[in-house]
Structures are given as C-alpha cells and as structure tokens.
Amino acid sequence: MSGSASPVALVTGCRSGFGLLTAVELARRGTVVYAGLRDVQTAGPLKAAAGELPVVPVQLDVTRGDQRAAAVERILAEQGRIDVLVNNAGVAVGGFLEQITEDELRHVLEVNLVGAWALVQAVLPAMRRAGRGHIINLSSISGRMALPGLGAYAASKFALEGLSEALAHEVGPLGIRVCLVEPGPYRTDIFGRNRRVTTGTLADDPYAARAARLMELTERATAAAGDPAEVARKIADLCRQDRPALRHPLGRGSRLRLAARALLPFSVWAWLVARLTTPRPGGPPSDGAAADQDRRL
C-alpha cells in the first residue's frame, strides 16, 4: 500500500465493540484505518464489517512495546504519517478492592493506561512534524465517578483522564487535539462476553451479598444499554473538528449522573450509591423498586 492523500488513523482494540465500529466508520468517511488486534487471527468480524473499505488489520497487543513500535513504523512506512490515534483497547475486572489480585490490577493499568500512554508517545513525533493530529482516548463515565465493585477499572480511567488533560495542555500549542470520550452503558463485550470477575478470594467474604446485587444491576444496565455505533460516530465526528472540547460524555443519563456527582456533597452521593447497591433485608428489591433506584442514581 502506498501513501495517499486520505487521512490515516490507528485504532486499537478492533476485534469488536467500539473499536471495530470506529474503524469501519472512519473508513466509511474516507480515512485509511489500521485496526489493531491483540491477535490478528481474530480479524474475521472486522473484515466482514469493513468489506472493501480501507481497513488494514495489524497485530497490536498494546502492552507489548515491540508490537506498538512495529505497528507505528509500518504505518509511517506505508502512509508517511498518522493523523489520528484512537486508544480504544481496554479491559475491566469486577471485584471489591480487597479481593482484586495484584496481577489483575497491574493488567488493567497496563492495558487501559500504560498502553495508551505508550502509543501516544509513539505517534507524537510524526504528529509534531506534521503540525496536526487528533488523539482520542476512550475513557468512561467510570473515569469521572467510581462505583463499588469497579475500583480497578475506575482507577485506570481516572488516571487516563488526568493523563489526557495534561496531554491536551502539552500538545495543544503544537496543533494536536486531545479528546476524552466517556461512554456510559453500551452494548459491548467488555461487560458482556469478555466480562471478567476477580479470581481473588477471602476466607470470610463480607462482600458476597453486595457483589450479587451489583451483578444484578450490571445485567439490568447491559440489557438497557445503548447502541455502540453512537460512540463510533462521535469519535469519527471529533476527528474532523479543528477545536473539539476535551471531554465528551455519552449515553443515556450520563450527563445527569456526572452533574449530580459534581454538585452533591460526597456524603449525599455515598448515601445514594449505598441505597442502590445494598441488598434489602429479606432479599433483593423488586424490579420496580430497583428501577426507581436506578433512575435516582
């Protein structure tokens, strides 16, 4: 493949969900997309969705420095530039922080934070030479408000928010735009087929009842989650904007929840979270009662 006048993007985590849809949406709008896959042998669904669009699967485990370097070097050799980086690859592990193992926490941080930072470092020299570029980091509503049972995931996304905010200050004067896309619940594999729960155990588990309640809430949120294509379209829109805002919360109720978290004293917010996540005596609340609590939060 020889270089072209079309924009060039690198998107990570393209096996399914936001990554696959974003790669296809960008290509549909005329971008040459290199779609990172932890195992390039799993590119079947991506190829089927892309059809004849300019989407090139590339081997890219974001935790491996050799694969990060090889992917960026290949794009620059074939296209001469990288205009867009979408750091989408992500993992989550459910579990209370006393239970989470050190290896699990390190893996979440390696993928969601360190891998994203390392790819930013890898593409910035080319973007600086061009005097332009877009870096889109996939955060989450969990990067602005932390809930029980998702502490490891929230920690990685809170950190990604801080990294991205500092990055926006650093590279904005160089013509490079940084955005955080913050989805709420959407129908993706991270909380579906690829959902992971900690392997850590406690001899006397004080969290079992709350964990069961949180699993119930997760199932309900997944069933009512939004269409992930909405997020892909938003990312593609941001890549065409000259001066996009830094943060972009998406999903039903996300802006309202973030506003409530920002305005309410933590003690009040903690009371609301406890009301939602604590099982009631005599068993779980009825669907109607649970739905009412969900709306309040």
Catalytic residues: 153
Q: Which residues contact 111 (CB under 8 A, 6 or more apart)?
A: 62, 63, 89, 90, 91, 156
DSSP the chain: ----SS-EEEE---SSHHHHHHHHHHHHTT-EEEEEESSGGG-HHHHHHHTTSSEEEEE--TT-HHHHHHHHHHHHHHHS---EEEE------BB-TTT--HHHHHHHHIIIIIHHHHHHHHHHHHHHHHT-EEEEEE--GGGTS--TTBHHHHHHHHHHHHHHHHHHHHHGGGTEEEEEEEE-SBS-GGGTTT--B-----TT-TTHHHHHHHHHHHHHHHHT-B-THHHHHHHHHHTT-SS--SEEEESTTHHHHHHHHHHS-HHHHHHHHHHHHSPPTTSSPPHHHHHHHHHH-
CB 103 within 8 A of CB 129: no
Which of 94-108, 187-201, 213-227, 274-288 has the lowest average pLDDT? 274-288
Q: Provide the residue ranges of all domains of the chain, joining segments of one domain with +.
A: 8-254
Over range 264-275, report the average pLDDT: 95
Residue 3's pLDDT is what?
A: 58
Q: What is the pLDDT of residue 290?
A: 37
Supply the pTM of this predicted model: 0.90
Q: What is the pLDDT of residues 83-123, one digit of tens each?
A: 999 999 999 999 999 999 999 999 999 999 999 999 999 99
pLDDT digits (tens, 9 = 90+) for 136-195: 999 999 999 999 999 999 999 999 999 999 999 999 999 999 999 999 988 776 555 556
**Over pLDDT 90: what percentage of the chain?**
76
Q: What does the pLDDT average to over 65-72?
A: 98
Pairing mode, if any, of strands 176-183 and 133-138? parallel
| Distance (Å, whole) CA 91 – CA 213 | 22
pLDDT exceeds 80 at position 217: yes
Residue 286 clears pLDDT 90, i.e. is over it = no
Instruction: Indicate the pLDDT class of residue 18, thresholds 50, 70 and 90.
Output: very high
Angle at 87 between CA 122 and CA 152, to 5 degrees: 115
The predicted structure's pLDDT at residue 4:
59
Measured in residues, the chain has a length of 297
Lay out the sheet containing 8-11: strands in order across: 55-59, 32-37, 8-11, 84-87, 133-138, 176-183, 247-250
pLDDT computed for residue 11 by the predictor: 98
What pLDDT, on the 0 to 100 scale, is given for residue 296?
32
C-alpha dihedral (278, 292, 191, 267), degrees to nearest 10? -50
Name residue, tokens 């090889």: 70
Q: Among candidates 35, 32, 71, which has minimal Cα distance to 53?
A: 32
* Confidence at residue 192, expressed as pLDDT on a 0 to 100 scale: 54
DSSP-derived pairing of the beta strands 84-87 and 55-59: unpaired
| pLDDT band for position 253 (cuts 50, 70, 90) | confident
Q: Which CATH architecture has domain 8-254?
A: 3-Layer(aba) Sandwich (3.40)
Cβ neighbours of residue 211 closer than 8 Å, sequence gap 6 or more: 95, 96, 149
What confidence tier does 293 reach under pLDDT thresholds 50, 70, 90? Answer: very low
CA distances from 268 to 202, 254, 274, 293, 295 (A): 30, 18, 10, 14, 16
Average pLDDT over residues 27-42: 98
